[in-house]
Amino acid sequence: MKRFSVLASLVAAVGIAAVSMGFGEKPAAPAAAPAPKVKKSYTIGVIAKSQSNPFFAPSHTGALDAASELGKKLGTTIKIEWRTPVSEDAQKQAEAIEQLVASGADGIALAASDAKILKSAVDSAAAKGVPIVTFDSDVPDSKRLAYVGVDNFSFGQSIARELGKSMGGKGTIAILAGNQTATNLQARVSGVRDVISKEFKDMKVKEAYYHPENPQDSVKTVEQVQAANPDITGWAMVGGWPLMTANALDKVKGKAKVVAADALQAQIEYVKKGEVEVLLAQPVYDYGHTAVTLLMDKIVSNKSPKDPIVKAELVPVTGKNADEYAKNWTKWLGK
Amino acid sequence: MNQAAPQSAPPPAPSSAAGPKAPVTRPLWIRVVSAQETGLVAVILALVVGLYFATPQIEQVDRTTYQAAGTVVADLPDGFTVTTPAATGGSPKVLTFKEADGYEYRAIENGAIVMRKFQANKFLNAANLLSVLTAASFIAIMAVGMTGIIVSGGIDLSVGSIYAFAAVVGAFALKAVVGTSGAPVEGASLMLGILVTVAVCSAVGAACGFVNGFASVGLGVHPFIITLGGMAVYRGIAFVTTGGQTIGPFPENYIKAFGKFEIFGITPVPMLLMFAVAAIGWFILSKTVFGRRVYAIGGNEVAAKYAGVPVGRAKVQLFVICGMLAGLSAAAYLGYYGAGSSDAGQGYELNVIAAAVVGGASLSGGRGSALGAVLGAIVIQLIDNSILMLSIDQNYKNIVIGLAIVLAVVVDQTKHRLFSGARR
Minimum Cα–Cα distance from B398: chain A residue: A86
Chain B residue with the nearest C-alpha to that of A139: B249
Distance from C-alpha of B424 to C-alpha of B412, rounded to nearest angstrom: 16
SS (H, E, C) chain B: CCCCCCCCCCCCCCCCCCCCCCCCCCCHHHHHHHCHHHHHHHHHHHHHHHHHHHCCEEEEEECCCCCCCEEEEEEECCEEEEECCCCCCCCCCEEEEEHHHCEEEEEECCEEEEEEEEEEECCCCHHHHHHHHHHHHHHHHHHHHHHHHHHCCCCCCCHHHHHHHHHHHHHHHHHHHHCCCCCCCCHHHHHHHHHHHHHHHHHHHHHHHHHHHHHHHHHCCCHHHHHHHHHHHHHHHHHHHHCCCCECCCCHHHHHHCCCCCECCECCHHHHHHHHHHHHHHHHHHHCHHHHHHHHHHHCHHHHHHCCCCHHHHHHHHHHHHHHHHHHHHHHHHHHHCCECCCCCCCHHHHHHHHHHHCCCCCCCCCCCHHHHHHHHHHHHHHHHHHHHCCCCHHHHHHHHHHHHHHHHHHHHHHHHHHCHHHC
At B1 the pLDDT is 40
Amino acid at B112: A
pLDDT higher than threshold 70 for residue B86:
no
Cβ contacts of A104 on chain B, cutoff 8 Å: 58-61, 117
Mutate to test the interface with B, among A91, A138, A301 (most CBs of B within 10 A): A91
Same domain, A144 and A156: no
In this prediction, residue B123 carries a pLDDT of 87
Residue A76 pLDDT: 93
Name every chain B residue with its beta carbon within 8 A of the beta carbon of A143: 109
The pLDDT, as a whole number, for residue A26 is 40
Q: B75 to chain A: nearest residue by CA?
A: A4
| Per-residue pLDDT band at B176 (split at 50, 70, 90) | very high
Which has more confidence, B28 or B337?
Answer: B337
Asked if residue B18 is part of any domain, the answer here is no
Q: Do B343 and A116 touch (CB under 8 A)?
A: no
Residues A140 and A159 in one domain: no
Band of the pLDDT at A282, cuts 50, 70, 90? Answer: very high
pLDDT recorded at residue B387: 85
Residue B93 lies in domain: 60-121
Rounded to whole angstroms, the maximal C-alpha distance in chain A is: 72
In a domain, B1, yes or no: no
Residue B319 lies inside a defined structural domain of this protein: yes
> Among residues A264, A281, A298, which one ends one of the domains?
A281
Decide: residue B217, CB within 10 A, 0-12 exposed, 13-18 middle, 19+ buried. buried
Using an 8 Å CB-CB cutoff, list residues of chain A that contact chain B: 1-2, 4-5, 51, 82-84, 86-91, 94-95, 98-99, 101-104, 114-117, 119-121, 123-124, 126-129, 141, 143, 179-182, 299, 302
Using alpha carbons, select from A28, A8, A62, A18 the residue that is nearest to residue A291.
A62
> Which backbone phi and psi does A317 adopt, to 5 degrees?
-115, 120
Of the pLDDT bands very low, low, confident and very high (cuts 50, 70, 90), residue A119 is very high
CA distance B216 to chain A (A): 31
Q: Is residue A207 part of a domain?
A: yes
Chain B residues touching residue A114 (CB < 8 angstroms): 246, 339, 341, 343
Q: Is the peptide bond before B249 cis (omega within 30 degrees of 0)?
A: yes
Least confident stretch, A85-89, A287-291, B335-339: A85-89
Q: Do residues B83 and B221 share a domain?
A: no
Q: If you count them, how many residues does chain B have?
A: 424
Min Cα separation A55/chain B (Å): 15
CA distance to partner chain B, nearest, from residue A210 (Å):
14
Predicted pLDDT of residue B98: 81
Residue of B nearest to A118 (CA): B337
pLDDT digits (tens, 9 = 90+) for B112-127: 777 787 888 888 888 8
Q: Please check whether residues A248 and A305 belong to one and the same domain.
A: no
Total-model pTM:
0.79
Residues A39, A107, single domain; the answer is: yes
Cβ-nearest to B337 among A94, A141, A299? A94
Most confident region among A327-331, B304-308, B400-404 by mean pLDDT: B304-308
Distance CA B362, CA B372 (A): 12
CB pairs under 8 A between A and B: 120
Q: Which of A61-65, A83-87, B67-71, B394-398 has the lowest mean pLDDT?
A: B67-71
The alpha-carbon gap from A154 to the nearest alpha carbon of chain B, in Å, equals 23
Contact A83 B394 (CB under 8 A): yes
Same-domain status, B250 and B185 = yes
Q: What is the pLDDT of residue B87?
A: 57
Flag whether A129 is in a domain: yes
- Lowest-confidence region among A100-104, A106-110, A122-126, B135-139: A100-104
DSSP string covering A124-157, please? HHHHTT--EEEESS--TTS--SEEEE--HHHHHH
Kindly report the average pLDDT of chain A as a whole number: 87
- Is B106 close to A129, i.e. CB distance below 8 A? yes
Residues A103, B109: C-beta atoms closer than 8 Å: no
- Whether A125 and A166 share a structural domain: no
CA-to-CA distance for A136 and B4, rounded, in angstroms? 49
The two beta strands, B103-108 and B111-121, are antiparallel
Q: Domain check: are B43 and B88 in the same one?
A: no
Interface pTM (ipTM) of the complex? 0.74
Instruction: Please indicate, yes or no, whether residues B83 and B222 belong to a single structural domain of this protein.
Output: no
Contact A91 B337 (CB under 8 A): yes
Q: Do B246 and A115 touch (CB under 8 A)?
A: yes
Same domain? For B113 and B130 the reply is no
Beta carbons of A78 and A67 less than 8 angstroms apart = yes
CATH number at residue B160: 1.10.3470
Contact between chains at B346 and A120 (C-beta distance less than 8 A): no
A196 lies in some domain: yes
Closest chain A residue to the Cα of B110, Cα to Cα: A1
- For A12-25, what is the mean pLDDT? 45
**CA neighbor of A279 nearest in space, from A318, A335, A312, A307:** A318
Q: Do B244 and A115 touch (CB under 8 A)?
A: no
Does B188 share its domain with B81?
A: no
Kindly tell me if the per-residue pLDDT of B282 is higher than 90: yes
Residue-range definition of the domain harbouring residue A209: 152-281
In a domain, B6, yes or no: no
Say whether A120 and B249 touch across the interface (CB within 8 A): yes
Mean pLDDT, range B136-161, rounded to an integer: 96
In this structure, the answer to whether residues A248 and A293 fall within a common structural domain is no
Instruction: Calculate how close chain B gets to A108, using CA atoms only, in Å.
Output: 15
Tell me what the mean pLDDT of segment B66-73 comes to: 62
- The number of distinct structural domains making up chain A is 2
Q: Is A296 left (phi over 0), alpha (psi -120 to 50) or beta?
A: alpha
Q: What is the pLDDT of residue B424?
A: 40
The CA distance from A53 to A32, in Å, is 41
CATH of the domain at A297: 3.40.50.2300
The predicted-structure confidence for B213-243, as pLDDT tens digits, reads as follows: 999 999 999 999 999 999 999 999 998 898 8
Task: With respect to residue B9, please indicate whether it lies within any of the assigned structural domains.
Answer: no
Judgement on whether residues A122 and A211 belong to the same structural domain of the protein? no
The shortest C-alpha distance from A292 to chain B (Å) reads 18
> Residue B353 phi/psi, 5° resolution?
-65, -40
Instruction: Please give the Cα distance from A188 to A313 (Å, whole number).
Output: 15
Is B244–A84 a contact, with Cβ atoms under 8 angstroms apart?
Answer: no
- Contact between B128 and A99 using a beta-carbon 8 Å cutoff: yes
Query: Does residue A64 sit in the same domain as residue A208?
Result: no
CB A205 within 8 A of CB A173: yes
Chain B residues with beta carbon closer than 8 angstroms to that of A126: 108-109
* Same domain flag for A302 and A253: no
Same domain, B76 and B191: no
Boundary-marking domain end, from B121, B147, B170:
B121
Best of A116, A183, A304 to disrupt the B interface (most B CBs within 10 Å) is: A116
pLDDT at A3: 43
**B81 and B134, same domain (yes or no):** no
Q: Residue A63: what pLDDT?
A: 96
Which residue of chain B is at minimal alpha-carbon distance from A303?
Answer: B107
Residue A100 counted as domain residue: yes
User: Residue B71's closest chain A neighbor by CA?
Assistant: A1
Residue A48 maps to a domain: yes
Q: Are residues A216 and A253 in the same domain?
A: yes
For residue A18, the model assigns a pLDDT of: 43
Tens digit of pLDDT for each residue in B39-61? 889 889 999 999 999 888 877 77
Q: Is residue A335 part of a domain?
A: no
A178 and A161 housed in the same domain:
yes
Any domain includes A86: yes
Least confident of A125-129, B89-93, B201-205, B290-294: B89-93
DSSP A285: H
* A129 → chain B, closest CA residue: B108
Interface probe for A, chosen from B240, B256, B337 (most Cβ of A below 10 Å), is B337
> pLDDT tens, A293-312?
999 999 888 888 999 999 99
Collect all residues of chain A within an 8 Å Cβ-Cβ radius of residue B61: 104
Q: How far is B59 from chain A (nearest CA, A)?
A: 7
Greatest mean pLDDT among A198-202, A326-330, B175-179, B364-368 lies in A198-202
Q: Are residue A249 and residue A121 in the same domain, yes or no? A: no
Q: pLDDT tens-digit profile of B5-39?
A: 444 444 444 444 444 455 556 777 777 777 778 88
How many distinct structural domains can be found in chain B? 2
Q: Does A166 fall in a domain?
A: yes
